[in-house]
């Protein structure tokens, strides 16, 4: 569809999904202590809340942009600022979590509720739909389709953190490897921020 550049959007989704955050760290801790199978209810709850929050934010973004089209450029600048801030946080990320210390066995309901208290998810959703996918936000079918695809991507990244929590703790704390990972992911986010501002209006 016009005014949509898939590569920057996909990079934004990938980096925002794979980098450390409350959901990923909680899944890694639970996977390390309780195993992947017992972490699945929590992952299911995260994905359910994730889908609902994404749909609400996408719908609201569409209504606002359709009502005040002149906001599009401002949204892109705000989105650019958010992505650059995310790039900074990614560069500084430690990839560390405490074994057993924060790993209470969380269930489906807590996974759902946590998404409504997650400001990072709200900023992520609004940036994705207002800045990258604005032309499709007025169509509920496209919102459902894109939410489903992004949720599938989130499932894989949450599963990676849960399954490889021990490996992440052992290897990603290596200063040199952490530095290379953080720089690479940060540069990808900088690329998406620049692409956002150079997209055709």
pLDDT tens digits along 94-138? 666 554 444 556 789 988 988 888 777 888 888 888 878 888 888
User: What pLDDT does residue 76 have?
Assistant: 72
User: What pLDDT does residue 201 have?
Assistant: 47
Q: In angstroms, what CA-CA distances link 52 with 122, 191, 195?
A: 11, 29, 28
User: What pLDDT does residue 110 have?
Assistant: 86
Q: In angstroms, what CA-CA distances link 139 with 55, 56, 171, 187?
A: 11, 13, 44, 32
Residue showing tokens 């979590």: 97
Number of alpha carbons in the 13 Å side-chain half-sphere of residue 180: 5
Q: Which residue has the higher pLDDT, 93 or 30?
A: 30
The DSSP 8-state label assigned to residue 138 in this structure reads T
Q: What mean pLDDT is predicted for residues 156-165?
A: 87
Write the pLDDT tens digit of every residue in 26-85.
788 788 778 888 889 999 999 999 999 999 988 888 777 667 766 666 767 877 787 788
User: What pLDDT does residue 173 have?
Assistant: 65
| pTM of the full structure | 0.74
Q: Which residue has the higher pLDDT, 154 or 124?
A: 154
Give CA–CA dist 74/61, Å, rounded. Answer: 13
User: What pLDDT does residue 42 have?
Assistant: 92
Cα 171 to chain centroid, rounded: 23
User: What pLDDT does residue 194 have?
Assistant: 79
Number of alpha carbons in the 13 Å side-chain half-sphere of residue 107: 1
């Amino acid at each position: 569809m016009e005014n949509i550049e898939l590569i920057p959007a996909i990079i934004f989704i990938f980096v925002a999904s794979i980098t450390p955050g409350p959901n990923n760290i909680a899944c890694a801790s639970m996977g390390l202590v309780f195993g992947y199978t017992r972490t699945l209810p929590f992952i299911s709850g995260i994905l359910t809340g994730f889908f609902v929050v994404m749909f609400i934010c996408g719908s609201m973004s569409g209504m606002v942009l359709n009502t005040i089209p002149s906001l599009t450029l401002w949204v892109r600048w705000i989105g650019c600022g958010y992505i650059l801030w995310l790039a900074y946080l990614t560069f500084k990320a430690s990839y560390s979590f405490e074994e057993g210390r924060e790993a209470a066995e969380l269930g489906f309901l807590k996974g759902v509720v946590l998404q409504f208290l997650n400001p990072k998810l709200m900023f992520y959703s609004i940036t994705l739909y207002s800045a990258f996918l604005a032309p499709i936000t007025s169509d509920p079918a496209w919102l459902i389709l894109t939410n489903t695809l992004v949720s599938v991507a989130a499932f894989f990244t949450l599963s990676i953190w849960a399954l490889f929590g021990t490996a992440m703790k052992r290897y990603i704390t290596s200063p040199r490897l952490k530095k290379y990972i953080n720089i690479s992911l940060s540069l990808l986010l900088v690329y998406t921020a620049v692409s956002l501002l150079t997209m055709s209006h």
